[in-house]
Structure formats: structure tokens, C-alpha cells
Amino acid sequence: MAIQWFPGHMHLTQKAIAERIKNIDVVIELLDARLPGSSANPMLAELTHGKPTLKVLNKQDLADPLRTEAWLAHYNSQSGTRAIGLDASVAAPAKALIKASFELAPNRGGMVKPMRVLICGIPNVGKSTLINTLTAKRATKTGDEAGITKLEQRISLASDFYLYDTPGILWPRIIVAKSGYNLAASGAIGRNAFDEEEVALELLDYLKTHYPALLEARFKLDRAASMADEELLVAIGQKRGALQGGQKINLQKAAEIAIYDFRSGVMGRMTLETPEEFAEWLKLGQTLDAERQVKKDAIELDRKIRFKKIPRPDLRPSR
């Protein structure tokens, strides 16, 4: 199943960013430290091309610290880009954003040339929590639900530092299948856009390979790594009392438990992708997308020929 979610307000956000970026000095993109590649919006990369960018791996307290270091090194190796990790609810690390922004745009500052920063990211990545931390007050609404912020806001963090907050935005079509599942597992995609059982099975398939000890400890299981995905989901349902009539396992409830326990971090510190894994997934997604486009173009060409909008090409060999 391909997971997609692009509500109407995201179209408006896309247009607003395209207009706002003309007068922006630095772009801060908040990423989920548990899925840094999947939570990096390729559409934002296009909209903000050429602008100094600060990649912030948020929720690092929930992520695998070794993998967080690998992702920071990956992004810090890119031109015009800096990357830092933080937990948006901790005040001291959050203040590092202001310092990093001035380092990326050293010619800005003061009342004549105030720093203008655009902060953006996918839904439910923690932007509102971060901004509330920076301003030491509830400047924006927060919640564990994708799509809370719906309007652009300008926030003054200092007399010469303006922060423009935008609603969380995904991209119209997710071509990396694994990213769709990871985004759904993290809470970035509205729950009506995916099937919890399918997402939970994908999540458990990855966790049993990379974090079997954490799975076993959380759900009091043995040999989690050797279990089939469905068997593991059933075992979780049994351990957590997800039962329905006749003592049958309620797989929907078991899936919800697995996803919630990952999101909340009670399973332990986990990261669902490495830079190398994501690069492979992206390459495969691009290849499949190109193949789909070729088929789509062929169907469109055939349609135009059948409706006589264009002449049928002469495929006879020339003499």
C-alpha cells in the first residue's frame, strides 16, 4: 500500500513558503531524529534552494544516539548546511538555533538588517513545542496530532531576529515506500490515511532486526528476531491483553499498542533508518517512479491517438 496524505491547507502552505522565501535569510528544517531522511521534505528543498539551511534533528532523546551522530555527520557534510540535534522541550539546546542561524548568515543582524528565519517541517515534528520553548511561553498550539498549526505566524525572538512559523507540510506524492510507513509510524500522517495493522507490521519487521532486545524487554518476549511479523504482532496482543470475543487477538488493538509504544519512546531509543539505508530506498523509489512515468506517458499518448488529437506515429522503416 502506498501511503499518501496532502490535505488542502498544505497547498496553501506551499504557496505561502514560495512567496515568503524571497525575503528569508536562513531556513530551519525540523526533522524527526528517528527518521531524518524520511522526514526531510523534498518539496521544501526545491522551494528553499540556495538558502542557508539548518537541519535540526528533533526528538533526539527518543532516537538511537549512534545513528543520530551518523545523520548529523551526513547533513554537516553538505554545502550550505549545518545540523544539530536537540529535544525541543529543553531550553538550553533550543537557544543554539539562534547562534547557528547567525553563523549561517553572518552579514545579518541589528535593526537595519534583522535576521529573518523560516522554520518548517513535516506535521507533528515538534515545531510548536520548540517555538514555545524559544519564547518561554505558549506562542503556538501544540498537540500529538498531525496538522495542528494551520496559519503562518511571525514571532520575534529578539529585536533583530524574526522567526516565521509555517504549518507542517508533507509533499504531494511520497515515492519512497518505506518513508510512507516510517512517517505513519511517527505520527506525521493523519491516521485516516493508513492502515494501522500494515504500518505496525512494517515497523515490527524493522525493529525485530535492528532492536530485538528492546522489543523483548518491552513486551516480555523471547526470540523476537526469529518471529514472523504477524506472529510478533499476535504475541504483543497476547502480552498486552488486546483480546476480543472468544479470546481471539484483536490485531487492530495490538497494532495501535505497537505504534503508540514506538511514538512515545517507551520501547527505548530507536531510529528507523540510516543514511545508507535511506539512500538505497530513495534510489529504488526514483527508479520505480521513472518507470511509472514512462507507463503513464505511454497511456496518455495512446489516449491522444485514439481521440485523434495527434496523428499515429509512422513506425515503418525508411527505405
Read off the pLDDT of residues 100-118 as tens digits, 9 standing for 90 and up: 999 999 999 888 999 999 9
Cell output for 197: 495493522
Helix (H) or strand (E) holding 209: helix 196-210
Mean of the pLDDT values across residues 70-91? 90
Q: Which amino acid is at 274?
A: T
DSSP reduced 3-state for 59:
coil
Instruction: Decide if 257 is inside a domain.
Output: yes
> Going by C-beta distance under 8 Å and a sequence separation of 6 or more, which residues neighbour residue 41?
29, 120, 121, 122, 169, 170, 171
Q: How far is the C-alpha of 317 from the C-alpha of 234, rounded, in Å?
A: 62
The predicted pLDDT at position 207 comes to 98
CA 22 to chain centroid, in Å, comes to: 24
Q: Using the predicted structure, report yes or no on whether residue 171 has a pLDDT greater than 50.
A: yes
Mean of the pLDDT values across residues 201-215? 97
Q: Using the predicted structure, report yes or no on whether residue 138 has a pLDDT greater than 50.
A: no
DSSP reduced 3-state for 125:
coil
Helix (H) or strand (E) holding 29: strand 26-32
The predicted pLDDT at position 64 comes to 98
Q: For the whole model, what pTM was predicted?
A: 0.84
Instruction: Decide if 280 is inside a domain.
Output: no
Full domain range(s) for residue 12: 8-165
Q: Using the predicted structure, report yes or no on whether residue 145 has a pLDDT greater than 50.
A: no
**Of the given ranges (103-117, 148-162, 245-259, 286-300), which has the lowest mean pLDDT?**
148-162
Q: What is the 3-state secondary structure (H, E, C) of 264-292?
A: HCCCCCCCCCCHHHHHHHHHHHHHHHHHH
The predicted pLDDT at position 123 comes to 86
A 10 A CB-CB count for 295 gives: 9
**Of the given ranges (8-12, 109-113, 305-309), which has the lowest mean pLDDT?**
8-12
Q: Are residues 43 and 156 in the same domain?
A: yes
**Of the given ranges (187-191, 226-230, 243-247), which has the lowest mean pLDDT?**
243-247
Q: Are residues 159 and 14 in the same domain?
A: yes
Mean of the pLDDT values across residues 272-280? 98
CATH number at residue 203: 1.10.1580.10
Q: Are residues 139 and 248 in the same domain?
A: no
Q: How far is the C-alpha of 217 from the C-alpha of 73, rounded, in Å?
A: 31
Q: Using the predicted structure, report yes or no on whether residue 150 has a pLDDT greater than 60.
A: no
Q: 30 phi and psi, to 5 degrees?
A: -85, 125
Q: Are residues 28 and 131 in the same domain?
A: yes
CATH number at residue 131: 3.40.50.300
Q: How far is the C-alpha of 306 from the C-alpha of 115, rounded, in Å?
A: 57
Q: Are residues 132 and 20 in the same domain?
A: yes
Instruction: Decide if 73 is inside a domain.
Output: yes
Q: Using the predicted structure, report yes or no on whether residue 88 has a pLDDT greater than 80.
A: no
Q: Are residues 224 and 151 in the same domain?
A: no
Q: How many domains does the chain have?
A: 2
The predicted pLDDT at position 169 comes to 80
Instruction: Decide if 56 is inside a domain.
Output: yes
Mean of the pLDDT values across residues 7-12? 61
Helix (H) or strand (E) holding 116: strand 115-121
Instruction: Decide if 171 is inside a domain.
Output: no
Q: Which amino acid is at 314?
A: D
Confidence of residue 220 (pLDDT cuts 50, 70, 90): very high
Q: Are residues 158 and 38 in the same domain?
A: yes
The predicted pLDDT at position 5 comes to 54
Mean of the pLDDT values across residues 152-171? 82
User: Of 165, 182, 208, which residue constitutes the final position of a domain?
Assistant: 165
Q: Are residues 208 and 135 in the same domain?
A: no
The predicted pLDDT at position 302 comes to 73
Q: Using the predicted structure, report yes or no on whether residue 126 has a pLDDT greater than 80.
A: yes
The predicted pLDDT at position 308 comes to 65
Q: What is the pLDDT of residues 249-267, one digit of tens each?
A: 999 999 999 999 999 999 9
Instruction: Decide if 204 is inside a domain.
Output: yes
User: Of 110, 143, 165, which residue constitutes the final position of a domain?
Assistant: 165
Q: How far is the C-alpha of 149 from the C-alpha of 165, rounded, in Å?
A: 9
Mean pLDDT of the chain: 86
The predicted pLDDT at position 140 comes to 44
Among 23, 32, 20, 92, residue whose Cα is nearest residue 56: 32
Full strand arrangement of the beta sheet holding 81-86? 81-86, 53-58, 26-32, 115-121, 161-165, 153-158
Q: How far is the C-alpha of 229 from the C-alpha of 204, rounded, in Å?
A: 6
A 10 A CB-CB count for 125 gives: 27
Instruction: Decide if 299 is inside a domain.
Output: no
The predicted pLDDT at position 147 comes to 43
Q: Are residues 94 and 232 in the same domain?
A: no
Mean of the pLDDT values across residues 155-168? 85
User: Of 214, 245, 264, which residue constitutes the final position of a domain?
Assistant: 264
CA 59 to chain centroid, in Å, comes to: 12
Instruction: Decide if 187 is inside a domain.
Output: no
